[in-house]
Amino acid sequence: MEQILHTVVFAQIMGLYMVIMAIILLGRVRFFRDLLQSMSVQGGELMIAASFGLMLGVTLVVMHNIWVWHALVLVTIVSWYILIKSILWLAFPQHLIALTKKITAGNGYYLMVIIMGIVGILLLTVGFHPYF
Q: What is the pLDDT of residues 29-85, one digit of tens each?
A: 999 999 988 888 887 888 999 999 999 999 999 998 888 887 788 999 999 999 999
- Summarised one tens digit per residue, pLDDT across range 84-114 is 999 999 999 999 999 999 998 889 999 999 9
Please tell me which residue, 45 or 18, carries the higher pLDDT value: 18
- What DSSP string runs through 28-59? THHHHHHHHHT--TT-HHHHHHHHHHHHHHHH
Q: What is the pTM of this model?
A: 0.86
- Alpha-carbon separation of residue 75 from 70, 91, 130 (angstroms): 10, 24, 16
Residue 107: its pLDDT value, please? 92
Burial of residue 18 (CB within 10 Å: 0-12, 13-18, 19+) is buried
Show the domain range for 69: 5-131
Domain total of the chain: 1
